[in-house]
Amino acid sequence: MRFHNIRRLTFAMTVAMLTVAGASLAAGGGVSISPGIFEHVASRGSVGSIKVSNTTSTSMVVKVALRPWLQELSGEVSPNRGARLSEVGLNASSFTLGAGSSRTVGVSLTGTPPGRSQYGAIEVVGTPPGHAVKGIKFAYRLVSSLRLDAPTNAQSFRAQPGGLVEQGSARHGTLLLAVRNTGNTIVPIGGTVLIDGQGRSLRANASTKAIVPGQTVNVPLAELLGSLPAGRYTVTVGLSQGGHGLGRVTRTIALR
Amino acid sequence: MSAATRLVTLALLVAAFAVLSGVPAALAEGTPVGGTVESTLALSLGEPSSFARASAGHRQSVYDATIPVEVTATDAPVRLSLADGEAISGARRGHLVRGHLSLAIALQAAAGRGRFRSLDASVDPVLEQWGEPVSLEGTTIRLRQAVRGAHQPPIGGYHKLLLVTVTAAGP
C-alpha cells in the first residue's frame, strides 16, 4: 500500500516536472542545423551534407549561403554577408521547408581552393511567413563553421609576425603581437614569451588564437598587471601552431 | 529554466523512472549514463512583445521590445548576436525604415543583463556568449529605439527584419 502511494507521488512529481519542462521555448519549435561544425578534407567533389530542420508549426523560407569569414583583430569572426565563398557549392540555396520537416543540402568542392584549404561560414536563414509585428520581424539565422582542410601532406604551418600592441591602461594592460597566418590551416597559433629589460624579466605563455589563413589577429602575449617598471624592454616570442614551431621573433617596446 | 534546475529535474526524472519501472535502486544509482550527441546548432524564438513607450519627453522618447530565445549548441564557444536582415551596409543598416525614410538613431539590442549595443556597427554585436556547449539555454533579447527632436515621429510605421543569430565554434 505504502509502495503504491510512493508510486502515485512519484508519478505526480514526474507530471509536474514535465509540465515545467514543457514551458521551454523549444516545445514551440525552431530551426536547427547539423553538424554545427562541418569539417572535411578539401578534395574535389562532394564533401558531405548539412541537415536543416524546421520544427515550428509553420512553413519557412530557408536560404543557405557559404560566406568567407570577416575576422577582427581581436580574433572574433562573423560571416561576410556581402561575399560568397569561392570553389565551394551547394545543391540547394533557397527552398521552402514545411512545418516539422527537414532537408539535406549537399556541399561540394567545385575546384581547388587557393592554398589547398577553404574556411568559411555556412549561413542558414529561416524566415517565417507574415509581416512585421509592430515594426519588427524576426528570422532565424544559424551560422556553422565550414572547415575544408588541406590534405595532411599539403598542410603548411606559417605565420608572419607584425608589431607589438599595448592594450589597456599603461603597464597594467595586455601586451599583444599582431600575427598574420600565412599558412593554410586553422590550427590556433600561440607561443611562449620572454619580456626582458630594466633588470627584470617576465615569462608567459601567449594565448592561442585561431586565425583564418591570410588574416591578421592580435595574439595576447602577457598580462602586464603593473609588474614591470617604465622603460625599454626586449620582447622575444616563440610562435607555435599545433606543436609546429614557427620561429622566434624579437621586438622592443617602451612601457610608459 | 536554469541549467541547475534542468539538471535537478533530469535527476528526479531518472529517479522517478527507476521507481516506476522497478529498476533496483543500487543499479539506478551506480550505472553511469553517457553517450555521443550529434553536432547540432538549434534556435527557438518565443513570442515577441511589440514596442512600448518606456519613457517620454520633449527631447527624447524611448521604446522597448523583447523576444525570448533559446539556444542549443554542441560546439563551443557559442555566440548570440543580432543582425540587420535588410541592409548589410550603408546608412540604413541597423535603423528602422519606412519607405525611403529611416530613423536617425539606430536600433539597440541587449541580451539578459548585458549593455545595449547599436545595430549599425560594421560587425554584428555579440549579445551573449557561452564558453561551453549549451542545451536549451534561454535568454531574452531586449530592443531599444530612441527618438529625439521636437517633432518625434511615431515609430509605428517603421519596420525592420532582424536576424537572431547563433554562431558556433568560431572559425
Of A23, A37, A133, Cβ closest to residue B75:
A37
The CATH number for A123's domain is 2.60.40.10
Of A90-99, B62-71, B94-103, B152-161, where does mean pLDDT reach its minimum? B152-161
Of A6-20, A105-119, A139-153, where does mean pLDDT reach its minimum? A6-20
Instruction: Tell me whether strands A118-127 and A136-149 are parallel, antiparallel or unpaired.
Output: antiparallel
Given a contact cutoff of 8 angstroms between Cβ atoms, the answer to whether B169 and A37 are in contact is: yes
Q: Are B40 and A24 within 8 A, CB to CB?
A: no
Nearest to A141 by CA among A254, A63, A236, A248: A63
Between helix A2-21 and helix B3-21 the angle, nearest 10°, is: 150
Rounded mean pLDDT, A38-63: 95
Q: Are B70 and A143 within 8 A, CB to CB?
A: no
Is the pLDDT assigned to residue B7 strictly greater than 50?
A: no
Q: Give the 3-state secondary structure of residue A255.
A: strand
Report residue B31 CA to chain centroid gap.
Answer: 37
Rounded mean pLDDT, B148-166: 84
pLDDT band per the 50, 70, 90 thresholds, residue A35? very high
Same domain, A248 and A164: yes
Residue A21 counted as domain residue: no
pLDDT band per the 50, 70, 90 thresholds, residue A17? very low
Residue A18 counted as domain residue: no
pLDDT at B10: 45
Is the pLDDT assigned to residue B31 strictly greater than 90?
A: no
Rounded mean pLDDT, A29-46: 94
Q: How many other C-beta atoms are found inside a 10 Å radius of the C-beta of residue A207?
A: 17
Same domain, A87 and A40: yes
Same domain, A202 and A94: no
Same domain, A195 and A120: no
Rounded mean pLDDT, B92-108: 92
ipTM: 0.81
Q: Is A183 exposed, middle or buried (0-12, 13-18, 19+ CB in 10 A)?
A: buried
Query: Look-up: residue for cell 562541418?
Result: A38
Of A54-58, A188-192, B47-51, B142-146, where does mean pLDDT reach its minimum? B47-51
Fold held by B38-168: Immunoglobulin-like (2.60.40)
Q: B28 contacts in A (CB within 8 Å)?
A: none
pLDDT band per the 50, 70, 90 thresholds, residue A16? very low
Is the pLDDT assigned to residue A66 strictly greater than 60?
A: yes
Given a contact cutoff of 8 angstroms between Cβ atoms, the answer to whether A211 and A196 are in contact is: no
Q: What pTM does this model have?
A: 0.82
pLDDT at B44: 96
Is the pLDDT assigned to residue B1 strictly greater than 80?
A: no
Q: Are A135 and B158 within 8 A, CB to CB?
A: yes
Q: Are B88 and A119 within 8 A, CB to CB?
A: no
Same domain, A112 and A227: no
pLDDT at A3: 42
Longest CA–CA span in chain A (Å) reads 83
Contacts of A1 (CB under 8 A, 6+ apart): none
Of B45, B73, B170, Cβ closest to residue A77:
B170
Is the pLDDT assigned to residue B159 strictly greater than 70?
A: yes
Residue A163 counted as domain residue: yes
**Does residue B92 or residue A7 have the better pLDDT?**
B92
Average pLDDT, chain A: 88
Residue A213 counted as domain residue: yes
Same domain, A120 and A167: no
Is the pLDDT assigned to residue A192 strictly greater than 70?
A: yes
For chains A and B, CB pairs below 8 A equal: 185
Domain count within chain A: 2
Taking the alpha carbons of B124, B85, B73, B50 in that order, is the dihedral positive or negative? positive
Q: A23 contacts in B (CB within 8 Å)?
A: 1
Residue A240 counted as domain residue: yes
Interface of B with A in 3-42 (CB under 8 A): 6, 9, 12-13, 16-17, 19-20, 38-42
pLDDT band per the 50, 70, 90 thresholds, residue B53? confident
Average pLDDT, chain B: 82
Span A106-139, pLDDT tens digits: 999 999 898 999 999 999 999 998 765 558 899 9
Mutate to test the interface with B, among A62, A118, A138, A186 (most CBs of B within 10 A): A138
Same domain, A249 and A146: no
Query: Look-up: residue for cell 591578421?
Result: A216
Of A9-13, A56-60, B63-67, B96-100, where does mean pLDDT reach its minimum? A9-13
| d(CA A229, nearest CA chain B) in Å | 35
| d(CA A225, nearest CA chain B) in Å | 24
pLDDT at A169: 76
Task: Pick the residue from chain B with its C-alpha nearest to A13.
Answer: B16
Residue A81 counted as domain residue: yes
**Does residue A85 or residue A7 have the better pLDDT?**
A85
Same domain, A37 and A142: yes
Nearest to B103 by CA among B143, B157, B33: B157
pLDDT at B156: 78
Same domain, A56 and A136: yes
| d(CA A236, nearest CA chain B) in Å | 28
Same domain, A43 and A104: yes
Strand-pair partners of A79: A69
Task: Pick the residue from chain B with its C-alpha nearest to A72.
Answer: B123
**Does residue B40 or residue A11 have the better pLDDT?**
B40
Rounded mean pLDDT, B87-116: 92
pLDDT at B28: 53
Same domain, A164 and A141: no
Task: Pick the residue from chain A with its C-alpha nearest to B98.
Answer: A135
Where in the sequence is the domain holding A106, given as residue range(s)? 29-152
Residue A129 counted as domain residue: yes
Task: Pick the residue from chain A with its C-alpha nearest to B159.
Answer: A135
Q: Are A36 and B123 within 8 A, CB to CB?
A: no
For chain B, the structural domain boundaries read 1-35, 38-168
| d(CA A187, nearest CA chain B) in Å | 10
Is the pLDDT assigned to residue A30 strictly greater than 80?
A: yes
Same domain, A120 and A171: no
